[in-house]
Amino acid sequence: MNRILAFVLLTFSAFAFAQTPQLKSGSTIFIEPMDGYETYLAAAIVKKHVPLAVVLDRDKADYIITSSVSQQVPTQPKTVINNSATATINEGDSGNHAFETGFAQGAQAAAQRRAERAARGSTTVSIAVADPLTKRVLFAYSTSKAGTNNQLQKTAEACAKSLKEFIEKSDESKK
């Protein structure tokens, strides 16, 4: 019985003292090639003053950043026609037509916004920072930006900003 109790206590104490992996300030990172996006991400890391050093040799990196980039090319906006907004209110009606008319107008406006967003195009990016030895993901982030100008740069800067905040939060928790 004592052996079982000792084993249980030893096991739980190992879990209690085990620390969650943290991304350390001043560490080196390697950014996996991703059709040129790695350049945007490296530039954003420098611009946003993320406390990491980007290296070009994977073997010299403490951590590896992988990314996934998806771009939707701009399209021509579609014309949305909605004839359901024409309603008449009868004398004995409970007033639901006003609600239905408002709902139809809202749906039409939403469809128009979706068409305008598609006309501008969009970029969606996901990144993950992993320890190459343990293969554990320490940080992951995803963002999407719409518009025709600098989508890749904007998404890279959003990723860098979030990464910086994560590292600063980890550094504060150590104190």
For 63-94, the pLDDT digits (tens) are: 999 999 888 776 655 555 555 444 444 555 55
pLDDT at residue 29, as a whole number: 97
Match domain 19-74+121-174 to its CATH number in 3.40.50.2020, 3.40.50.10070, 3.40.630.30, 3.40.630.10. 3.40.50.10070
For every residue of 104-127, DSSP letters joined together read HHHHHHHHHHHHHHHHH-EEEEEE
**158, two tokens:** 């959003």
What is the pTM assigned to this prediction? 0.64
CA dihedral 136, 139, 145, 148 (to 10 degrees): -70
Determine the Cα–Cα distance for residues 85 and 168; give it in Å rounded to an integer: 52
Cα dist from 81 to 77, 78, 104, 107, 145, whole Å: 13, 10, 11, 11, 27
The alpha carbon of residue 173 and the mean position of all alpha carbons in its chain are separated, in whole angstroms, by 23
